[in-house]
Chain A
Amino acid sequence: MGEVELSCLAYAKMFLHASQHPRSSVNGLLLSSSPAGAAVCITDCVPLLHSHLSLAPVTQLALTQVDVWCSQTQQRIVGYYQANACVSDSSPTPCALKIAEKIFEQCNNAVLLMIDGEKMYPGCRVPPIVMYERKDARWTLKDKHTIMLRQWEETCSIVNQLFSSGDQTLLVDFDSHLDDITKDWTNQKLNAKIMELISPANGNV
């Protein structure tokens, strides 16, 4: 199938989300601000839950709200990510497959991204990511060569900078928004900080 490009912004927030809740499974939605085409450009993500991933009400609520927000901001939901609590197991859970199916109904090159906890240690040279695509009515592993992370080294360094400056605590997921609705699950503030760190030489990251 087509190529998938993962932006620094999306990757950084996913990584931060998983790091914020090391003892729980976390999940979120992958968004694109690019028009639909053969290639999928994941330009942003919305972190959703860090507890009770398999319960329906909050997931349904979050999907609806993100949908509305996307139509207001010319973005589309193009995928789903999840990091399992059990670090040694990065296979998609039934809940992950279910949500990915729902997204696939609206977006025929949707991706399912599992974060590989075992590769999240500092200095790891390989992105801690496993991607799946829908082929022949099943979710199958995507060919690594079709996945692009531009400026991987710089992305890593940006993530490190976020940790050392303490800005990683700015990340809000939908769960924490429900605990305190003054918190912004679209993460405008954190997005701005990350965009600042991305050097202008990169152009469209």
Chain B
Amino acid sequence: MSSISELYDVTWEEMRDKLRKWREENYRNSEQIVDVGEELINEHASKLGDDIWIIYEQVMIAALDCSRDDLAWSCLQELKRQFPDSHRVKRLAGMRLEALERYEDANKLYDSILQDDPTNTAARKRKISILRAQGKSSEAIRELNEYLEQFVGDQEAWHELSELYINEHDYAKAAFCLEELMMTNPHNHLYCEQYGEVKYTQGGLENLELARKYFAQALKLNNRNMRALFGLYMSASHVAASPKVSAKVKKDNVKYAAWAASQISRAYQMAGRGKKENKCSVKAVEEMLESMQITMS
């Protein structure tokens, strides 16, 4: 089997830089990381200098994701040897136990870290992840709420909590989490769009109007967000069709929906150009827009 460097004609430096990019942007493309990282470690370890430790960590986590316990174990051994008393390495050992579903042992390890250092957020978050893996959603939610009371700025935690609430159909609380995220990340179109989806799901005229506004905001931040575009179309259509709205509100929403429909049409026309295979999806959208127009007028 040929090596990555042969297959893709890349140098070891390029491989190292790719790993850094994936690390910095928090990608979870574990199979790729394992392929590239394993070769880098096996063939070019001496050239990596101090970078090698962070690469061991990155590759170890990716290896756990791919059930490569052999690789994870050897990375862990190298790290243990170099950093014998490190909490960071202990946490990695805990993650390996989690991957092996030895949750009690993992928890013991995390508890010992927390005894030494009660502010260790990584260990606390791993404990919450264990609850999630075991399907104990309400406990995970409770622990995460307690965590956020102390560490109110932790974006990752707020997002995790919003996901948990969405899974539990607790849309009001999910909305609250997304509000926190939108406040601290006002330019993130994804949070606006997710908030719109939650409001739409909650239903009722007020929520639908709110949803429409947030879908519009998401589009302002990124006019290519198709979910926001469809969301705008659907929420405006529903508001326009509601018997409770004034003539003016109805007229405005018909306008918004029509605008969204034309944008959707345009986007699909452009996508369909020259590609025979998505002919079906393009046709489906066109018919859908036509049929919804009929029910609205």
B-binding residues in A (CB < 8 A):
52, 54-58, 60-61, 64-66, 68-69, 72-73, 86, 88-89, 94-95, 177-179, 181-186, 188-189
Decide: A56 and B288 in contact? CB cutoff 8 A. Answer: no
Q: How far is the CA of A55 from the CA of B166 in the complex (A)?
A: 8
Which B residues touch A186, using CB under 8 A?
280-281
Decide: B200 and A57 in contact? CB cutoff 8 A. Answer: yes
| Number of residues of chain B lying within 8 A (CB) of chain A | 34
Which B residues between 240 and 297 are near A, CB-CB below 8 angstroms?
267-268, 271, 275, 277-278, 280-281, 283-285, 287-288, 291-292
Q: Does B11 contact A (CB under 8 A)?
A: no
Tally of A-B Cβ pairs under 8 angstroms: 84
9-residue interface stretch from B17-25, B151-159, B225-233: B225-233
A54-B166, A55-B166, A57-B227 known; A185+B197 contact, CB < 8 A? no
Which A residues touch B285, using CB under 8 A?
65
- Nearest first, the 6 A-B pairs at minimum CB distance are A56-B201, A184-B278, A69-B284, A186-B280, A181-B271, A55-B197
* Residue with the highest number of chain A CB atoms closer than 10 Å, among B167, B226, B268, B280: B280
Q: Does B198 contact A (CB under 8 A)?
A: yes
Which A residues touch B166, using CB under 8 A?
52, 54-55
Which A residues touch B133, using CB under 8 A?
86
- Provide the main secondary structure of the chain B interface: helix
* Residue with the highest number of chain B CB atoms closer than 10 Å, among A57, A73, A183, A184: A57
Nearest B residue to A86 via CB reads B135
Query: When the two chains form the complex, which single residue of B196, B201, B231, B278 contacts A182, counting CB atoms closer than 8 Å?
Result: B278
Decide: A182 and B275 in contact? CB cutoff 8 A. Answer: yes
Query: When the two chains form the complex, which single residue of B135, B278, B288 contacts A89, counting CB atoms closer than 8 Å?
Result: B135
Decide: A58 and B277 in contact? CB cutoff 8 A. Answer: no
Nearest B residue to A192 via CB reads B277
B275 to A: closest C-beta gap in Å: 6
Which A residues touch B275, using CB under 8 A?
182
Known contacts A54-B166, A72-B280; 4 further A-B pairs (Cβ under 8 A): A57-B197, A58-B197, A65-B285, A178-B230
